[in-house]
Amino acid sequence: MAPKQNLRVVIVGGSIAGLTLSHCLARHNIDFVLLEAREEIAPQEGASISIFPTACLSLEQLGVLDDILEQVEPLKPLYNWDSNGKLLAYTEVPAISQKRHGYPGAFLARQSILEILYKHLGDRQGAVLTGKKVIGVEHFDTHVAVHCADGSSFDGDLVVGADGVRSIVRQLMWSHMDSRGLQAEAREERDRMTCEYDCVFGISSPTPGLTTPDIHRTYARGWSTIVVAGKDKAYWFLFTKLDRKYKGHEIPRFNHDEIDKHLAPYMNIPVTNTVPFFEVYNRREVCNWLALEEVLYKNWCIDRFVIIGDAAHKMAPNSGHGGNTAVETSVSLSNSIASMLEKHPEIHTKDINDSLKNWQEARNPRVTQIWQTAAEVVRLETTTSFKHRIIQHFLPILIALVQNKGSAYAVAAERIDCLPLPPRSFTGTMPYNCQENLGQVIQEKFWKRVLWGLPLFGLMCIGACTVGTTILNIRPHAEALLEHGFWTASTGEIFSIHKRIYKLRALDDIFQPVIMCFLPSITGTDSQSWTQMFSFIPEFGAVYAIWLLEGYRKVNSWPAVLFPIIMGQGAQLLSVAAFGPLYYFLQYLQLSLYETAPSNNREIDPTGTYTLLAALAAAHYIPSYASFLVPDLQDRQLWNAAWQIFPLTVPLLQLPLSLFLGSKLNPDATSVAARAENRKSSLVAIRVAYCSLAMISASGFVYARANAPVGSSMLDIFWPGVRGYALPGDASFEEGIARFMQYDQVSSMAAGFAWLGLRLRELRRSGVEFSWLGVVGVLVGITCVFGPGTAFLLGWGLKEELLHKLGA
Ligand SMILES: Cc1cc2nc3c(=O)[nH]c(=O)nc-3n(C[C@H](O)[C@H](O)[C@H](O)COP(=O)(O)OP(=O)(O)OC[C@H]3O[C@@H](n4cnc5c(N)ncnc54)[C@H](O)[C@@H]3O)c2cc1C
Ligand SMILES: *[C@@H]1O[C@H](CO)[C@@H](O)[C@H](O)[C@H]1NC(C)=O
């Protein structure tokens, strides 16, 4: 086929980014020439590289993945050690990745991957020229002329700098920016690069004590190591923290001859519990010492200049994403150039400028997130701060969370538009989301999400203050009652507060005062409070079920489920007024729509949903309604005690049930139809959940209102008053408790609606249509007639329905 429209790209740099771009352009049928300074395309420099599912997809599209995988053994166990060789965490990150995405984590010498990329260029190898060190670029209105040190020069429509962290093209682009009156921006860019770490890395012959295919990481203060026991080689890295943070031109360069001296203090550090560093180092075949620059530039293109790969986004290598991200950026650039050609039959500088600015804007948020994770990982492994020391104790949880983020990225990997998707990308439990158009999902910066979440944080503060003050007000009464040991209902019946209901000392001690606080409402002594609580308690259970369901989404792995459980029991024991908003605040920050949107992430296993409903009925609804309705008042106290621990008993009951029933989702849904089936069964269960929970909440509310004391208004029953929490000095225990419970309900429900609002906003910004006025109007109406719980559940249902529409 003839190249399209004579557009020609001059690529500078023939490493991961440059060679991937060559492949992609060739497939898009776009002309290119690649200029590489070195004489060889694939020199051995001791560098190694991990390939993740994000890059596997496009590498397989290009037909090079099989050769790459042939060079590696799929990695399985990952051991994390502390500086004394004590195990911090054992995980199976690579194996999980294989199961989820169909692609294993691969690790190989960088030399090998470059060789493979080059080999597969086939007849386009002729466009790859070595020994061409680029020294200058002339920018004209109609084209660029790229000049090499050997005197040759090459014309093209645009020049792409894939020339690594010390990119010459980037410098020339800044000079061009200067000449276009963008001196300030260019100056900022020149100052952006920093360096706080260095790394000695190398490849050694097999070392006794290291078994393939293990990965070992050691976390210490000021240094860290990674050792990968690959096929007949050991790949290793030793990171150390520099004495300070260096900027731009001050960044040190290291002398190869001084490596031994630099490493002397580290010879005995443990790279595993049994292998000291020198064992690996003494078997080195090749090694190198580099400063680790970190930078994410703001401008990746202007006019006919473009930069990609490390030249544009150089990240800390610990998370192993640098090369993978370089692959993705090349892929996305080639797609953008191809679609620009389709739109513009004749290309002017302005068209390139505009199209590529759009490309950068779309690509940047994804790179930013990956870049930030990389920066965090190196700081965590070298224990940079007190925060990191704490986090290391939660390493298994943290690793699971980081992997979930990684999975969210993998399912939305960049793909080459003009090539079919490889069958393997459909395998796994979280296959690539090809049929979903999730391109429009907005990725919001974390700090913006924090700002948007602040109202929830504010509600938490208000909730904590109001219930806190109320508690202080009623404390003297409560203490008197606890000392006295008895509470008397309006019927004259006497309740023993210190009854040992659970027969477990710790549990009884914790819950006796809590149960005491429910006596006025459940016995009907305070009939207004009975009405409020009768509607609130079932509603709280349903809200908790939603928290659990959010935790069961496939994007979460098991540690994430502990979060709603802890928040739920915290709310139950201390106050829903504070823990409710806190849960919503953290949940909002933890997962953005970008991560939940792909259907493989958002699905909830129907088994989880149905068993949750069953467990909720048994451990929450039955005891809570019984505690309000059974005729014997003493029994109500017992039922209340049974209900108090539902945030724990619900998941505990559910666990064996769901293990027994097994997953209802087809894990090998490789066809589009099978995956649509999975999506549907997840949604059907969700519908059953929100409809049935809403129905129960609505009937509870209607029943409570019908049995409310004559003459009391909705406001009397539910509203704690705007005059604040100043209870009259002579307020009784019962009055105080009633007020407390009202705050609990108002604050937690307000936060719930605010959270729904934030979630709906995300969806709307990502292109899902609905009318704010309509949604708010309907929810207010439902709240008035069927109570806030019903409105919240239906609102959540709406959110799920809209989420389901996204990308479908
Ligand atoms: C210690 C270490 C470990 C790493 N581990 C991993 C990992 O496990 N996984 C991973 O994904 N990434 C890893 N990376 C990052 C990865 O190596 C880089 O992100 C990747 O190589 C970037 O590719 P690139 O093509 O952008 O740049 P480079 O690989 O730096 O290539 C730039 C190319 O441009 C050429 N060039 C430079 N100047 C000129 C010029 N003037 N004219 C012509 N040609 C020129 C160079 O010769 C070179 O070939 C690691 C990096 C380091 C330092
Ligand atoms: C390209 O965009 C930049 C702003 O990013 C602008 O300053 C410049 O004039 C544009 N070039 C052309 C040819 O439009």
For 716-744, the three-class secondary structure string (H helix, E strand, C coil) is: HHHCCCCCCCCCCCCCCHHHHHHHHHHHH
Q: Is 15 in the pocket of ligand 1 (CB under 6 A)?
A: yes
**Mutate which of 163, 198, 329 for ligand 1 pocket (most atoms within 8 A of beta carbon):** 163
Residue 320: pLDDT above 60? yes
Cβ(351) – ligand 2 distance below 6 Å: no
Q: Is the CB of 736 under 6 A from ligand 1?
A: no
Q: Give the Å distance between the CA of 124 and the centre of ligand 1.
A: 22
Any atom of ligand 2 within 6 Å of the Cβ of 603: no
Cα separation, 699 vs 535, in Å, equals 9
**Sign, CA torsion 257/262/264/269:** negative
The answer, yes or no, to whether residue 2 has pLDDT greater than 50, is no
pLDDT confidence band for 1 (50 / 70 / 90): very low
State whether CATH 3.50.50.60 applies to domain 8-425: yes
Report how far apart, in Å, the C-alpha atoms of 236 and of each of 11, 220, 284, 777 are. 31, 16, 9, 61
Give Dmax over CA atoms of the chain in angstroms: 105
Q: What 3-state class would DSSP assign to 103? A: coil
262 lines ligand 1 (CB under 6 A): no
- Find out whether the beta carbon of 350 lies less than 6 Å from any atom of ligand 2: yes
pLDDT at 454: 95
For the CA of 142, the nearest ligand = 2
Rounded Cα distance, 350 and 523, in Å: 76
Higher pLDDT, 663 or 179: 179
Separation CA 134–CA 137 (nearest Å): 8
Provide the percentage of residues in the chain whose pLDDT is more than 90. 58
CA of 13 to the centre of ligand 1 (A): 9
Which atom, in ligand 2's list, is nearest to the CA of 182? 7
| Cβ of 302 below 6 Å from ligand 2 | yes
Contact indicator for 509, 719 with CB cutoff of 8 Å: no
Provide the 3-class DSSP secondary structure of residue 104: coil
Ligand 1 atom closest to the CA of 292, numbered from 1: 53
The tokens describing 137, both together, are 């670029």
Would you say the CB of residue 56 lies under 6 angstroms from ligand 1?
no
Ligand 1 centroid from CA 237, angstroms: 16
Average pLDDT of the segment spanning 235-239: 95
* pLDDT per residue as tens digits for the range 38-55: 999 998 887 889 899 999
Structure tokens at 72: 């590696």
DSSP 639-651: HHHHHHTHHHHHH
Q: How far is CA 7 from the centre of its chain?
A: 39
Q: What is the pLDDT of residues 247-287, one digit of tens each?
A: 988 999 999 999 999 999 999 999 999 999 999 999 999 99
Average pLDDT value for residue range 174-201:
96
Looking at all shown ligands, the one closest to residue 305's CA atom is 2
**Alpha carbons 323 and 312: distance in angstroms, whole number:** 12
Return the best residue to mutate from 144, 178, 300, 302 for the ligand 2 pocket (most ligand atoms within 8 A of CB). 302
Given CA atoms 734, 735, 736, 737 in this order, what sign does their dihedral have?
A: positive
Long-range contacts of 89-95 (CB under 8 A, 24+ apart): 89/395, 89/396, 89/399, 91/396, 91/399, 91/400, 93/399, 93/403, 94/213, 94/215
> Which of 173, 180, 348, 357, when mutated, tests ligand 2's pocket best, judged by the most ligand atoms within 8 Å of its CB?
180
Q: Show the tokens assigned to 62.
A: 């290009």
For the Cβ of 520 lying below 6 angstroms from any atom of ligand 1, the answer is: no
Q: How far is the CA of 353 from the centre of ligand 2 (A)?
A: 6
650 lines ligand 1 (CB under 6 A): no
Question: Which numbered atom of ligand 1 lies nearest the CA of 14?
Answer: 49
Residue 13 Cβ < 6 Å to ligand 1: yes
Residue 640 near ligand 2, beta carbon < 6 Å: no
Q: Which residue puts its alpha carbon closest to atom 9 of ligand 2?
A: 180
Return the H-helix or E-strand segment holding 339.
Answer: helix 322-343
Ligand 2 binding pocket includes 360 (Cβ within 6 Å): no
pLDDT digits (tens, 9 = 90+) for 446-503: 889 999 999 999 999 988 888 888 888 888 888 888 888 888 888 888 888 888 888 8
Residue whose pair of structure tokens reads 């979440």 in the numeric block: 453
Please report which ligand is nearest the Cα atom of 226: 1
Computed over every residue of the chain, the mean pLDDT equals 89
- H-run or E-run covering 239: strand 233-247
CA dist 25 and 280 (Å) reads 41
- DSSP 8-class letter at 421: P
Q: Quote the pLDDT of residue 435.
A: 46
Q: Mind spelling out the 3-state secondary structure of 508-538?
A: HHHHHHHHHHHHHHHCCCCHHHHHHHHHHHH
Mean pLDDT over 615-629 rounds to: 94
Q: List, for residues 656-692, the tens digit of each pLDDT value.
A: 998 899 888 876 666 667 778 888 899 999 999 999 9
pLDDT at 525: 82
pLDDT at 582: 95
Atom of ligand 2 nearest to the CA of 181: 7
The model's pLDDT over 459-468, given as tens digits with 9 standing for 90+, comes to 999 888 888 8
Reported as a single tens digit per residue, the pLDDT across 24-33 is 999 999 999 9
What percentage of the chain carries pLDDT values higher than 70?
A: 96
Q: Which helix (H) or strand (E) holds 627?
A: helix 622-629
Nearest to 697 by CA among 616, 612, 793, 604: 793
Q: How far is the CA of 361 from the centre of ligand 2 (A)?
A: 15
CB 72 within 8 A of CB 110: no
User: Does residue 326 line the site of ligand 1, with CB under 6 A?
Assistant: yes
Residue nearest to atom 21 of ligand 1 (CA): 323
Alpha carbon of 350 to ligand 2 centroid (Å): 7
- Tens-place pLDDT, residues 145-160: 999 999 999 999 999 9
Q: 133: Cβ below 6 Å to ligand 1?
A: yes
Q: 328 alpha carbon to ligand 2 midpoint, in Å?
A: 25
C-alpha 356 – ligand 2 centre gap (Å): 11
Is this model's pTM higher than 0.85 or not?
no
Q: Is 322 in the pocket of ligand 1 (CB under 6 A)?
A: yes
Nearest ligand to residue 171 Cα = 1
The whole-angstrom separation of Cα 247 and Cα 189 is 12
Centre of ligand 1 from the C-alpha of residue 314, in Å:
9
The ligand 1 atom at the shortest distance from the C-alpha of residue 201 is 1
Ligand 1 centre from 47 Cα, in Å?
9
The full set of domain ranges for the chain reads 8-425, 447-806
| Ligand in closest contact with the CA of 322 | 1
d(CA 665, CA 660): 15
Nearest CA to ligand 1 atom 28: 164
Residue 627, Cβ density class (10 Å: 0-12 exposed, 13-18 middle, ≥19 buried):
buried
> In a mutational test of the pocket of ligand 1, which residue from 23, 36, 147 has the highest number of ligand atoms less than 8 Å from its CB?
36
pLDDT band at 109 (very low <50, low <70, confident <90, very high): confident
Q: Is the pLDDT of residue 558 over 80?
A: no
Question: How many other β-carbons are positioned within 10 Å of the β-carbon of residue 733?
Answer: 21
Looking at the chain, the number of H-run helices and the number of E-run strands are 29, 21
In the reported structure, the alpha carbon of residue 310 is separated from the centroid of ligand 1 by a whole-number distance in angstroms of: 6
pLDDT, tens digit, 9 for 90 and up, residues 360-380:
998 998 899 899 999 999 999
Stretch 509-521: mean pLDDT? 89
What distances in angstroms separate CA 782 from CA 528, 779, 790, 793, one per listed residue?
21, 5, 7, 11
